[in-house]
Amino acid sequence: MAVQRLPSWREMPIGGVIVNPGNSLEYKTGDWKVLMPVIDQEKCTRCRICWYVCPDSAIKELDKPYTTKKGRAYKISYEVDYDFCKGCGMCAQECPVKAIDMVPVEVV
């Protein structure tokens, strides 16, 4: 991995100010986890609780329609952003229909 050149004092904004907040997206916390959530789209009732609970906004609410095998049609779906999910398991714990399983991360 290439080492990033660190900036000189001239190149940094004064006083340690971060002028481009939101750059935390470069700090991918997804490699923290040993367990990862897997959402069963068939069971998920789109209640928004997992999305609400996640401290890392790692459950994304997408305008992705989905119809279950039993014919329930949803306008949205929830997907895990594994780049940032830390594997805490709060989503699985709070899901009222147990649609989320925490499974071990595969070590490649």
Partner 1 sequence: MSAGQTPRGPLRIRSLFDLPREELFISGHGLCAGCTAGTIMRMLVKVAGKDTIIVNATGCVEVSTTRYPYSNWLVPWFHSAFENAGASAGGVARAIEVLQRKGALPKDRKIRVIAVGGDGGTVDIGLQSLSGMLERRDPVMYVLYDNEAYMNTGIQRSGATPYHAWTTTTPAGKVWRGEWRTKKDIAMIVAAHKIPYVATANPAYPQDMVNKFARGLEVLDEGPSFIHVIMACTTGWRFDPALGITISRLATETGVFPLYEIDHGKFRVTFPVAKRKPVIEYLKLQGRFAHLTPAEIEEIQRLVDERVAEINRLAGKEVIGPVAK
Partner 2 sequence: MEAQQAAVKRPIPLSTNYAVAYAVKDLDVDVVAAYPITPQTTVVEKISEFVANGELDAEFIHVESEHSAMSATIAAALTGARAFTATASQGLALMHEMLYIAAGLRAPIVMSVAMRALSAPISIWNDQSDLFGSRDSGWVIYFAHTAQEAYDTLIQAYRLTEDPDVLLPVMVAYDGYVMSHTTEPVVTEGRSEVLKFAPKRPYPYRLNPDKPVTIGAIVPPEYLYEIKYQNVKAMEGALAKAEEVDREFGKQFSRSYGVMECYMCEGAESLIVANASYAATLKSILPEAWRQGLRVGLLRLRLYRPFPVKHFVEHASDAKGVLVVDRSISYGAPYQGPLANEIAGLKVREGLGFNLTSVVAGIGQRTMEDEDFMALVRLAWESRTRRFPETMFYGVRE
Q: How far is CA 10 from the centre of its chain?
A: 36
Residues 85, 27: Cα–Cα separation, whole Å: 12
Least distance CB 1 / partner 2 (angstroms): 16
Closest approach, Cβ 85 to partner 1, in A, equals 9
CB neighbours of 48 closer than 8 A, spacing ≥ 6?
61
Asked if 58 is part of the footprint of partner 1 (rule: CB under 8 A), the reply reads: yes
> Residue 28 CB, nearest distance to partner 2 (Å)?
18
- 86 contacts which partner out of partner 2, partner 1, none, CB within 5 to 8 A by kind? partner 1
CA distance 1 to 3: 6
Q: Which is nearer to partner 1, 68 or 93 (CB)?
A: 93
